[in-house]
Structure 1
Amino acid sequence: MIDRLERAFKRQQQFTGDASHELRTPLAVIQAEATLALQKEREAGEYRESLQTISEEAGHMASIIEKLLTLARADSGTEQLMFEEIDLGKLLTEIAADAEVLCQHKGLSFQLGEVPGLTLKGDRARLRELFLNLLDNAIKYTPAGGTVSLSLREAERMATVDVRDTGLGIPPEHVPHIFERFYRVDKARSRAEGGAGLGLAICKHIAEIHGGRIEVQSEAGKGSTFSVRLPLS
């Protein structure tokens, strides 16, 4: 019992320390921009640039805080879920429309593969968050001219959603850790892209609360495939 409490306390300490570190950087940028703006008179355009930076960093902080709250609710068992019958194929088709717009904006090709009408019980909002997170990651880390794809298949009463990309890929030594909280393969690039290393941890949690799991196959320089397996109704 004592050992279990000690482990829980250490996890909480680590979580708090990591969260503080993630919030410290955007806060420092906001403080620096505000200080510079107040030090002397500036042209209107310079003020706008400072305000734009402050707005972006505040948005980054808000995103981190929302993800931290999601994980905190998961840890405490207080998150509220609304399970219903969901046509997974229809949901993915709706999500694909958003992903295609994002791909076009970055100069990527988007491919929607087969999406049969498979039905499962789940929380629509959380499943949408799961698949949008995976697609957003794929788009972020795929250079212009690459391809992102989404497809759905069934085997042994399990639905499998595959999100593929032709992006940077993940070095093999990092693959076992990518679903850990605050873990980032390339910290500098993740920071530039607005990542805090929480998205995949949330994806893993959402898959698990639906009785499923998430897996990845990747090769550095050749892209990745994230597969979400969920039980059908």
Structure 2
Amino acid sequence: MKLDFAQLLPSIPFILEGLKVTLMIVGAAGILGFLFGIILSLFKISPVKPLVWFADAYTSVFRGTPLVLQLMIIFYGSPQLFGTQIEPYTAAILSFSLNSAAYISEIIRAGINAVDKGQKEAAMALGIPYSQTMKDIILPQAIKNILPALMNEFITLTKESAIVTVIGAMDVMRRSYMVGSDLYSFFEPLLLAGFIYYIMVMVLTLLGKLLERRLKGND
């Protein structure tokens, strides 16, 4: 096996340009997925049955079908659904955030249920509104308890973002594949792409541990 990493050097800046796309998609999808996940989790514990049914059905569909299928339906199906072709980046953010929300809602729901029910009952006895109780008392404790699971979901989202290459988004993976096509040698650029994703995951893992320690220090 003959490897030549020297031929890859001129293409490294081109591949690294894809980091902007990857980080933009992951960042936007992570924030939107988290916010929508909170809403879904509140639906799941709501006394209003239609909201519970909607949230459960939503989670079942998005957890029960492949993410790449959801991405391709949104991207390739947009001309039929909306009468226009949406951008690959928009399709990626939509599909990733909708998919991530399903998983995050289950994580947050479990975190909310893990909080001592006595705190909710005490807040109700004091006349604190439900919305304020969730915002100021229940959710902060739940988020602190489920932080490792949330970080794992964000790490998974970062790695799965590589599938945007199937719709032509110019991320790290797509650019690495293009370089491989130009050089007639795919191993070296794809290995570089893998190293870039590994570094991103390690940085996220470190940030997650630092945040977890800080939250524990505030107990």
Bigger strand fraction = 1
Length-normalised TM-score, structure 2: 0.29
Q: Could you tell me the TM-score, scaled by structure 1's length?
A: 0.28
Q: Between Structure 1 and Structure 2, whose CA radius of gyration is higher?
A: 2
Q: Which protein has the bigger helix share?
A: 2
Q: Which has the higher contact order (CA 8 A, sep 6+)?
A: 2
